[in-house]
Structure 1
């Protein structure tokens, strides 16, 4: 047997042995489906209590002028009525709003709010009683109104931002004092 015949016989044997391996192979590659990730969105149920912290800026105008940083704590309870949310709350802000007459030390509020539920975000309006206290020039009750937005990060945590205008009509020797506050906060909801 010559060398060409030996090679041809060897190649034939290799193909004969390998043919059964390829015989059952599919003609097209198998494509397995990949699971699609599902985004987890926070619950949009606003019903429940909350406590939180806030930080912001306050400015006094009219008969007493000054500005400075404020910060404090907040607590409240909301009721989710479908597309609408109503709630009650209170907050205490300490600060160092400096004026020519001295410093405004604290601003406390009792409030109600109502807003529209956009799912995980609520746009709201708020109003209520406001109490300002200063060791330098006394204290006064007033009222306020404001707007804000709150966004749920998950079922337990939410971010909030609010702008409010406070009016005090009789602040001891000053006829009228207006305070504008802008705050951002972090609430724990339960």
Structure 2
């Protein structure tokens, strides 16, 4: 059972083939692993149906684990425009699923995620996974997609207080 001040966060690492997800709890100081996994889409299915699989999978995960906030990795643009576009569409499902459940959603760049977890924006995947093991000793992940999703959730846990303060300041300035 969650204590007062604890928030359950889902980190989402979007991908058309595999979308990683990781759920943690944070009380502002301590982090606790809750669950993680990977949603896969059927490779030989049409794009629209693959996107539906991702959306429905994420919607189920969010409902099952009771996440209150979501964090999604921003898309990096690569040389293959077609691949970038497909990733963007998968990312759209990763944003829509928590939005449809009313969760507060934050987005983070890959470099900020690595810097938040490891202390270096260009850290290797092995370094990120080692730090996840240190920060969430009970975490058990079977894929890099799950590990990345947990890193995204950890990043959000460390930045959510600053984001909330910025929102309050901007809302006060708007009055």
| Shorter-chain TM-score tier | under 0.3
| Larger Rg computed on CA atoms | 1
Taking structure 1 as the reference length, the TM-score comes to: 0.26
Taking structure 2 as the reference length, the TM-score comes to: 0.27
Higher helix share: 2
Higher strand share: 1
More contact order relative to length (CA 8 Å, sep ≥ 6): 2
